[in-house]
Amino acid sequence: LDPNDLPVSWGRGSVTSLQCGPEQILFHEGDEANAVYCLKSGMVKLYKSGGSGDPLIIRLVGPGHLVGYRAVLTDEPFAATAEVVGPTQVCRIPKPLFWELLETSRGFATRLARYIATELRISEEQLLAQAQHTVTDRTIRLLSLFLDEGSFEPRRDAPIHLPLLRSEFAKMVGTTPETLSRVLHRLADSGLLTLTRREIFVRDPEQLRARARRIFPRK
Amino acid sequence: LDPNDLPVSWGRGSVTSLQCGPEQILFHEGDEANAVYCLKSGMVKLYKSGGSGDPLIIRLVGPGHLVGYRAVLTDEPFAATAEVVGPTQVCRIPKPLFWELLETSRGFATRLARYIATELRISEEQLLAQAQHTVTDRTIRLLSLFLDEGSFEPRRDAPIHLPLLRSEFAKMVGTTPETLSRVLHRLADSGLLTLTRREIFVRDPEQLRARARRIFPRK
DNA sequence: CGCTCCGTTGACGTAAGTCAAGAGATGTGG
DNA sequence: CCACATCTCTTGACTTACGTCAACGGAGCG
């Protein structure tokens, strides 16, 4: 996931720019998909609940990335909900325009296909992790992913700062806040992390990455 | 997943046709991705192990579908292993030719993007199921999926016949053969299924579908 | 007729979900 | 500035689904 991966020129009338605040919903799971959104700044979380049970956060989306393209592309209803996390600027690209881009802009469809292909790999890796690794392992994996993509404002002495509540973090790992709390504190006790109310400081980034690689090879 | 979804004409010299037998491997996880495969008949299972632990079967691929396109598209090594299940005919499309198709064949890239987008939805649904549903629920979901796509030769009185061992079925559900056995027999006791050594007869397809819908809405 | 491979079943251990209570934060109004 | 309400995180006790280990039994095959 690298920002500005899709340098498409939006020189059309129908693209609108939106300034969004926290908790604003771009679209709901089940809604008709009539636009694609592109993040200029800020962050959006994409989660799906499937009707029953707690929602699972499918992914966090940063600047330069697209949301909603999957449903628009296949002409299905949205399969997830997109919610703004912090102050965020987005472009709204209506479906017809998106389709026009696909047909006219040379190479756009290919780039998009490649983009989705990467998402698919990530999703399948997460599926594997979910299927056969413990909460602790999955937590380490997620922390390591956050370290790698610096998109979450690493501080000088404090690599990871997430604008997420613990309960949201839990929804990304696929567990409950209670279990996540225990796991994080166990990791903190072993000296790997330092915890504050809503920040996670990684004491030893290299050791974390090493552990992640040991559990999930080839990353 | 509908067969012949990608009616591309393979009238080139470099496309080769292969006749494969069971257990033959098209490619291994980690191999360099130098070709895409298209199934003409038979079945291929795609699984990934991620180095440690039991492999998880990501998906079963039937006639008319592609395998390996994800890695070829993004120019990464294969992220999964493709193994032939029954007697199977496949086309092998070398990477350069596939790329040429993407660039020259009008609309191919878009169709491919749409195809991957569907895979992505399925993968994310499975992720959700894996994260917050029991083995029993996931088993029902899988059986219901098999019922819907008839690609697995439904018999007149016996809707589901899989050319898979129980252990493979378990790898699709994301559990162990032992647990799957217990779950299936519990479902059989309740009258929903009849079991033989390597076949699963669905006594009441409608009830199964109903249960699946109740657990996993909007399918 | 044995060998091997799977599927089944049982006993057991454990990771993690659930329920419930308590402890800090943070914010609000008097 | 201080109660007071609210929200999140944390901790504990309990429950449970599921994985693991091990033994057994029926199929298929040489």
Query: In this predicted structure, what is the pLDDT of residue A105?
Result: 87
Please write the tens of the pLDDT for every residue from A81-127: 999 988 899 999 999 999 998 988 888 999 999 999 999 999 999 99
Let me know: does B120 contact A119? Beta carbons within 8 Å: yes
- The answer to whether B31 and B77 are in contact (CB under 8 A) is yes
Between CA A54 and C1' C24 the distance (Å) reads 26
For the stretch B92-139, pLDDT in tens is 999 999 999 898 888 899 999 999 999 999 999 999 999 999 999 999
Res B92: pLDDT: 93
pLDDT at A76 over 80: yes
Asked whether the predicted pLDDT for residue A196 surpasses 90, the reply is no
**In 3-state terms, chain B is what percent helix, strand and coil (to 5)?**
40, 20, 40
In Å, what is the separation between the CA of B197 and the C1' of D26? 10
Lowest mean pLDDT among A62-66, B52-56, B92-96: B52-56
Mean pLDDT of B79-101: 92
Distance CA B188, CA B181 (A): 10
pLDDT, average across residues A137-162 = 73
Phi and psi torsions of A74, nearest 5°:
-90, 0
Question: CB A217 to CB B50 under 8 A?
Answer: yes
A134 touches chain B (CB under 8 A): no
pLDDT for the residue numbered A20? 86
Q: Is the pTM of this model over 0.85?
A: yes
Q: Is the distance from CB of B136 to CB of B173 less than 8 angstroms?
A: no
Give the confidence band of A38 by pLDDT, cuts at 50, 70, 90: very high
> Which chain B residues are closer than 8 Å to A130 by Cβ?
127, 130-131, 174
pLDDT band with cut points at 50, 70 and 90 for residue A142: very high
pLDDT number for residue B2: 35
Report the distance from CA of residue B177 to the C1' of nucleotide C19 in Å, as an integer: 32
Q: Which residues contact B36 (CB under 8 A, 6 or more apart)?
A: B66, B67, B68, B69, B72, B92, B93, B95, B98
Beta bridge partners of A56: A48
Across the interface, whether the CB atoms of A110 and B119 are under 8 A apart is answered: no
Contact B153, B187 (CB under 8 A): no
Residues B45 and B38: their CA atoms lie apart, in Å, by: 13
Of B50 and B139, the structure prediction assigns the larger pLDDT to: B139
Give the per-residue pLDDT at B219. Answer: 60
Question: What are the residues facing A59 on neighbouring strands?
Answer: A46
- Residue A13 corresponds to which tokens in the numbers above? 């009338």
The partner residue sitting opposite A110, judged by closest CB among B80, B109, B120, is B109
Averaged confidence pLDDT in chain B:
87
Distance CA B33, CA A154 (A): 35
Best A2, A103, A119, A120 member to test B by mutation, with max B CBs in 10 Å, is A120
